[in-house]
Amino acid sequence: MKFSSMFLYTMKEVPREAEVISHKLMLRAGMIKKLASGIYSYLPYGLKALRRVETIIREEMNAAGAQEVLLPGVQPSELWKESGRWNVYGKELLRLIDRKGGEFALGPTHEEVITDIVRDQIHSYKELPVNLYQIQTKFRDEIRPRFGIMRAREFIMKDAYSFDADDRGAEKSYEAMYRAYERIFSRCGLKFKAVEADSGPIGGNFSHEFMVLAETGEDVILSCSSCKYAANLEKAEIAKPASLAFQDAPAGTFERVHTPGARTVEEVCEFLGVEPRNLVKTLIYTSDKGVFAALVRGDHEVNEAKLRRVLGCDALELADEATIEKHTSAPRGFAGPVGLSIRMIADSALMEAGPYVVGGNLEDHHLKNVWLSRDVAAVTLDDIRDARQGDPCPRCAAGSLEAIRGIEVGHVFKLGTKYSQAMNAMFLDENGVLQPMIMGCYGIGVGRVVAAAIEQHADEAGMTLPVSIAPYPVMVLPINVTAGDVMETATAIYNELQRQGIETILDDRDVRPGVKFMDADLLGVPYRITVGAKGLKEGIVEVKERSTGTVEKVSPQEIVAYCSARLSGRNNY
């Protein structure tokens, strides 16, 4: 396409709103435009990259035996109430009332809708397995949308759902999708890692996230230095001792001390002259299982996903001031485990038992020389904290955990019978007995794949897009569009590339060469062919490979064959 005809407007300056590399470059390259908080329009150049990712996804999903559908974005509340998620999913679910008073939601995901379809159509084990997928817009009302399309409220997602008759079949479906994802992300030119993950509000008992490795990633991955274990921060386990039990405590009693105004870990440690590891944080939570306290060392953080799993609860949040005072007789910052009558879960790192500093359950007071085994009753020990660099691997004896950063682009779940049981998606097995279908679900953030590729492949000049997802793999750049031989040669090369099926930009703008070069680098076009009067006198044009910066001189007669050879079968770099 000719640059002068493209709806493409680049920017020199970095927009003030942009924080991460992909957001900055997508705005500067004219790929997206913000409409509202977390809501973006895809402009032609950005949409073309998105469509290339979608094509790869469709090819691999179809090859894996999945069939494409398209489901409504607006979903009736009745389905969500059947599954039990209407009052559990949270404020991210945007709820609507129609003119007749009916309750609906903008779909953040489609487990309920697809289960409703399959339960009405499939009744026998002979009709299973089946795997249905779609590429469609989702909406999640994120409290803090940020990083452009990386964490938007409205986004494009590929979601697939498998239905099987037994666990063995469900395992095969999961494995097929896992392998398809590996091929998809490899073809998109991404360096990625599959890690164990928490299933969150989707549900299920097992899942993996596919994380693109990037220093700018907002997610933390814990990976073993010796074995293949890897998990995201929510899921990452810490090696447990053979026996979870508190150490014995010496005889004696604790000491109450006055700590005026000291409510944070830092303030208490400074006031009493102790290290954070010698202090216990007591956090009060409310859940669908009641009110309870979580205890962790002062230098550790509670992992709420682990806490939910330990408690077996769905809803979990930090208690408000009134609830804290009701159960501890103290304001926030002074809660402690001594004398508490609510259920208490202590992190396994607190097995040493003491001596610790804890909140005194009285404003402006803490307790010193507390031993959990001596001074606190009925405490359960478990792994409830965030893993971190240097923690022992939970899978092997030799390794320790290393922290790296990544961007989640895909997630695969083993759902089991969570939705089929709740929504009566049953089938008759070989013996004529009704059984619930066993489900899996598999998501890819399509826009996130584009953004992650930019994060992973960018330099100071702009994007360095992999060939497989670049909107245009080649740009023909005539130095002087008013010079007859230059423009004639550039146009001939452009036309022949187009005839060969290679989508190409012809930069026919009458602007300074420097502007053209900067735009070509910004846009991340994999191959730039520069046509100039000097080169033509020597019988050559110059080809620059964006990813490596290497420049080769090729004759105009051979340049199309050169590009065809370079691009043939290329899925990435």
Longest dimension (CA), the chain: 97
Residue 458 has a pLDDT of 95
The domain 3-237+403-455 belongs to what CATH superfamily? Bira Bifunctional Protein; Domain 2 (3.30.930.10)
Secondary-structure class of domain 472-567 per CATH: alpha beta
What pLDDT score was predicted for residue 199? 62
Using CA atoms of 135, 137, 141, 146 in order, give the dihedral in degrees to the nearest 10.
80
Q: How far apart are CA 20 and CA 486, in angstroms?
A: 39
Give CATH 3.30.930.10 domain extents, the chain: 3-237+403-455
Q: How far apart are CA 560 and CA 476, in angstroms?
A: 11
Per-residue pLDDT at 201:
55
Torsion angle in degrees (nearest 10) through CA of 286, 196, 449, 111: -60
User: What pLDDT score was predicted for residue 162?
Assistant: 98
pLDDT (tens, 9 = 90+) of the chain, 573 residues, equals: 999 999 999 999 988 889 899 999 999 999 999 999 999 999 999 999 999 999 999 999 999 999 999 999 999 999 999 999 998 888 999 999 999 999 999 999 999 999 999 999 999 999 999 999 999 999 999 999 999 999 999 999 999 999 999 999 999 999 999 999 999 999 999 999 999 987 665 555 578 999 999 988 889 999 999 999 999 998 899 988 878 888 889 999 999 999 999 999 999 999 999 999 999 999 999 999 999 999 999 999 999 999 998 999 888 999 999 999 999 999 999 999 999 999 999 999 999 878 999 999 999 999 999 999 999 988 999 999 999 999 999 999 789 999 999 999 999 999 999 999 999 999 999 999 999 999 999 999 999 999 999 999 999 999 999 999 999 999 999 999 998 899 999 999 999 999 999 999 999 999 999 999 999 999 999 999 999 999 999 999 999 999 999 999 999 999 999 999 999 865 443
209 with 374: CB under 8 angstroms?
A: no
Chain CA centroid to CA 262, Å: 37
Q: How far apart are CA 453 and CA 188, in angstroms?
A: 8
DSSP string, 191-206: -EEEEE---GGG--SE
Please name the residue that has the structure tokens 């208690």: 319
Q: What was the pLDDT predicted at 340?
A: 95
Specify the domain boundaries for CATH 3.90.960.10 within the chain. 255-382
Cα–Cα distance between 475 and 324 in angstroms, integer?
Answer: 63
3-state secondary structure of 562: helix
pLDDT of residue 200: 60
Give the number of C-alpha atoms closer than 13 A to the C-alpha of residue 273, restricted to the C-beta side.
0
What is the per-residue pLDDT for 206?
Answer: 75
CATH fold of 255-382, please? Answer: YbaK protein (3.90.960)
Q: What length does the chain have? A: 573
Pairing of strands 474-478, 504-506: parallel
Residues of the chain with CATH 3.40.50.800: 472-567
The CA distances from residue 378 to 249, 327, 337, 409, in Å, are 15, 16, 10, 42
Reported for 425-433, long-range contacts at CB under 8 A and 24+ positions apart, including other chains, are 425/115, 425/118, 425/119, 425/163, 426/119, 427/122, 427/123, 427/124, 427/125, 427/127, 427/128, 427/165, 428/123, 428/124, 428/125, 429/125, 429/165, 430/125
Residue in the structure block whose two tokens are 């997508």: 26
Sheet strands (E) in 183-319: 192-196, 206-213, 219-224, 230-232, 255-258, 280-287, 290-297, 316-318
Residue type, 34: K
Partners of 475 in the β-ladder: 505, 528
pTM for the model: 0.88
Q: What does the block give as tokens for 245? A: 């039990």
Helix and strand totals (H; E) in the chain? 15, 31
